Chain A
């Protein structure tokens, strides 16, 4: 009986066996391949890469397969692998102005240099279940004439200037400048407060999409209003470059797919600064538009103090947001409540019984 209460080694082995069985499901159904996950569940792959802080679609697909589609669990697997990898070098900062753009929209100008480009978006689809996908094989044609894999139209410009750069040139949007300082690495140095913006953005970039979405949403409903406009959202491939010490020029090591969102927000100005727009910034691996937009809202909200705004809402509180946005930390700590707490509970039980006895004695004396 005693051993049964304490659990043990056999139970764990049994649980692992059951888990493996559940993962495979009915053996009569063909096993899903990593290629299929990478190609056909690409949003899941992108999210796992973003929150796992590792750009590796193959390993992300593996993590998703192993985690049976539990994306937070998949993020966990990827991070636990990432932490063991040696670091060879830092890449140069990527330049999203040089992005090979596949989607680019601005909500603040009807037309602009480079034009608007919808790309492969859910935005204007009717959310009707497409029953033709139930059948194996080729789905019926849908009304969108251009698929994501079609080449860019011939008149697409080679470069699309960022909308925000145009606004900065006009002086109506606060410029963001690189102070040349090496940003901290929150995977090596623990967060401390106050945290500078580069550090905050790192934490948000790997933060949980759902948590940031809710926080960003709260700023739109009066909890830390920042009057946002989607200045620009762009998605596409960007080259990653390394600058080896022994070469006079940088070398390209590959492309990564990114989604960037720059929110443009009102700012009333202060004694030193004239009224102007400010911005919030969001960036995600792959096609992570919802995440990038939510991140940009929260980034701007977290700049309240720097911009002299009164910070009263959860989304404006850096310590609150950054300490709780990591889903690995949150999921672990919430779920650790499943672990045995016999000893603490026993200690509480003794205290409670003593308090109840004292209470009963007092009640008796009062009568």
Chain B
């Protein structure tokens, strides 16, 4: 499917021209060969703003084929405005099938979350990345950080985490928690909550990360070791809640807090809308079967 423009031209399948897609696929191949390494690529302008997921969108645009089934989530949900807008973009420029079900998708583009349901071999997860460089807040210069990666000089990140422990008694990083991939490169998992970090480790799916504004692509190939940085006496731990999901009762998912009134009323619900909906359908079916 192509979209005609007024000068008689038309946009290519998935917007980007085939040459650009090939260039991006070459960068992806390199990224897969060097897990966690940030590969520079000739990032293109996309018809949505930088910061809205142009990196992830370019990755998806260059790998998507007519038989793919696409799922797009933002904050874990399929119905957040930006997820809707990106899904519509691919519907319009590719016409491929889309789904909200994690299990049915061949490509899942995401911002800030990984689905609760385990991914399968053959699935590809595309992460939208705002800042790819894990050392950026410690060293603003790209020329410096590239050298630090080349020398695997990651001591300052451990020092930073240690400073948290010394001052606050715990590591205070709650999302975009640094990981080491395949025992080599330090990597930012994009701003997913650290709750999702364990899902990165030895995941059967291919995980691709695209940063459009910063023009970097990196990858975690299937079944690659991904270790969240920690210390022997301060092992890595994830968030937990005193609540369960108010809609489906899940006690194992990441919960969004929703303010229900101005008197301190709160409600906790799954951030992964597909997971929540599936559990509720299953409960309903069970209840019916029991009747």
Hey, which bits of chain A sit against chain B, CB under 8 A?
A: 1-3, 5-9, 11-12, 76, 79-84, 86, 187-194, 319, 323, 328-329, 331-337, 339-344, 346-351, 354-355, 358
In the bound complex, what is the Cα–Cα distance between A342 and B257 (angstroms)?
8
Which residues from A are CB-within-8-Å of B76?
343
Given A319-B143, A336-B52, A347-B193, also A190-B41 (CB < 8 A): yes
Given A86-B17, A343-B175, A349-B257, also A329-B50 (CB < 8 A): yes
Residue from the set A194, A334, A340 with the largest chain B CB neighbour count within 10 Å: A340
B142 lies within 8 A of chain A by Cβ: yes
In the bound complex, what is the Cα–Cα distance between A341 and B215 (angstroms)?
22
- Which of A188, A333, A355 contacts B50 (CB under 8 A)? A333
Given A82-B45, A84-B16, A329-B50, also A348-B258 (CB < 8 A): no
Q: Is the CB of A343 within 8 A of B256?
A: yes
Hey, which bits of chain B sit against chain A, CB under 8 A?
A: 5, 11-12, 15-17, 19-20, 23, 40-47, 49-52, 54, 74-77, 79-82, 84-85, 88, 111-113, 130, 140-143, 168-170, 172, 174-176, 191-195, 213, 215-216, 239, 241, 247, 254-258, 260, 269, 271, 273
Q: Is the CB of B258 within 8 A of A350?
A: no
- Which of A9, A192, A341 contacts B79 (CB under 8 A)? A9
Q: Is the CB of B52 within 8 A of A79?
A: no
Chain B nearest CB from A346 CB (Å) reads 6
Which residues from A are CB-within-8-Å of B17?
84, 86
Q: Is the CB of B52 within 8 A of A12?
A: no
- Which of B40, B80, B170, B172 contacts A340 (CB under 8 A)? B80
Q: 28 interchain pairs (CB within 8 A)? A: A3-B79, A6-B80, A7-B80, A7-B81, A8-B79, A8-B80, A8-B84, A12-B81, A82-B45, A83-B20, A84-B15, A187-B42, A187-B44, A190-B43, A193-B142, A319-B141, A332-B50, A332-B51, A336-B51, A339-B52, A339-B111, A340-B75, A341-B75, A343-B256, A351-B172, A351-B174, A351-B239, A355-B172
Which residues from A are CB-within-8-Å of B191?
341, 343-344
Which residues from A are CB-within-8-Å of B50?
328-329, 331-333, 336
Q: Is the CB of B169 within 8 A of A358?
A: yes
Q: Is the CB of A340 within 8 A of B82?
A: yes
Which residues from A are CB-within-8-Å of B193?
343-344, 346-347
Q: Is the CB of A331 within 8 A of B269?
A: no
In the bound complex, what is the Cα–Cα distance between A301 and B247 (angstroms)?
60
- Which of B5, B23, B112 contacts A341 (CB under 8 A)? B112
